[in-house]
Amino acid sequence: MTGGNALAAAFGVLQRDLLLASRRKSDAAAPLLFFVIVASLFPLGLGPEPELLRRIGPGVLWVGALLATMLSVARLFASDYEDGTLEQMALSPEPLAALVYGKLAAHWLVTGLPLIVVAPLLGLQYGLPADTIALLAASLALGTPVLTLVGAIGAALTLGVRGGGMLTALLVLPLYVPALVFGAGAVDSGVAGTGAEAHLSLLGACLVLAAFFAPWAITAALRIALE
């Protein structure tokens, strides 16, 4: 049974990607900086009126996190594809899905987790109260893995295709909408007092569905690109 080997292989890929990210810290930090900058643009563009910022804060921060994740996941497989590592992964006896899980986990740790940690600080900039900030962090904790999983589908489909970044965005953004609606909606309904449980459970359902089915789509797309 390859079960144990598959897990070990996934961890191997995870460690490798973390090591690579640590060697290019500026690349790894870019999505986070993007997130922070985008969050600053809205008060600058719309005016710093506190009431307005409190209302738009959760949504703006969610969209910022979404865009930051999307931009960074678009190139998830690109460097491995270019230097032939991806081909080796596809040919290895370990299931490609396991290796893909490793890469996705690494991406979330490097990109998603920092977003979750920094979002509360930006929430303070928007004058959000503490319980709203907690809800925001919770919804991002559930949502950023979904964004990584679904974004990787777009990344795999557009491997080596011209018009890459914009095309990936066009493919991935419609698929991101449920996570955004439920994630930001959780925070908004928490603020409005109608309770965030419904939205958070739906977001959790998205996560479970994505965790099961996205790797299928990703490995299928990778094999198509490698043919």
Partner 1 sequence: MLNWFRFSSPQAFYPLAGRMQPWFAAAAALFGAAGLYVGFFVAPTDFQQGESYRIIFVHVPASWMSMFIYLVMAGWAGLGLAFNTRLSGMMASALAPTGALFAFLSLWTGALWGKPTWGTYWVWDARLTSELILFFLYLGFMALQAAIDDPRRADKAGAVLALVGVVNIPIIYFSVQWWNTLHQGASVSLTRSPTMAATMFAGMILMVFAFWMYSIAVSLARLRAIILERERMSGWTGELA
Instruction: Tell whether residue 134 is a contact of partner 1 (CB under 8 A).
Output: no
Total residues contacting partner 1 by CB under 8 A comes to: 23
Among residues 72, 93, 91, 94, the alpha carbon closest in space to that of 17 is found at 72
> How big is the chain by its Cα radius of gyration, in Å?
18
Return the residue of 158, 179, 188, 215 that touches partner 1, per CB under 8 A: 158
Return the residue of 33, 46, 170, 208 that touches partner 1, per CB under 8 A: 170
Q: How far is the CB of 114 from partner 1 (least distance, A)?
A: 27
Return the residue of 173, 189, 204, 211 that touches partner 1, per CB under 8 A: 173
Q: How far is CA 65 from the centre of its chain?
A: 8
Instruction: Tell whether residue 192 is a contact of partner 1 (CB under 8 A).
Output: no
Stretch that binds partner 1, among 14-22, 102-110, 138-146, 166-174 (CB under 8 A): 166-174
Q: Which amino acid is residue 193, in one-letter code?
A: G
Alpha-carbon distance values, 37 to 2, 53, 75 (Å): 45, 16, 21
Among residues 46, 37, 44, the alpha carbon closest in space to that of 67 is found at 37
Q: Which helix (H) or strand (E) holds 194?
A: none
Q: How many CA atoms lie within 13 A of 122 on its CB side?
A: 29
Residue 118 or residue 150: which is nearer to partner 1 going by CB?
150
Stretch that binds partner 1, among 5-13, 44-52, 74-82, 164-172 (CB under 8 A): 164-172
Tokens 């893909």 -> residue:
100
List residues near partner 1 by CB under 8 A: 153, 157-158, 161-163, 167, 170-171, 173-175, 177-178, 181, 209, 213, 217, 220-221, 224-225, 227
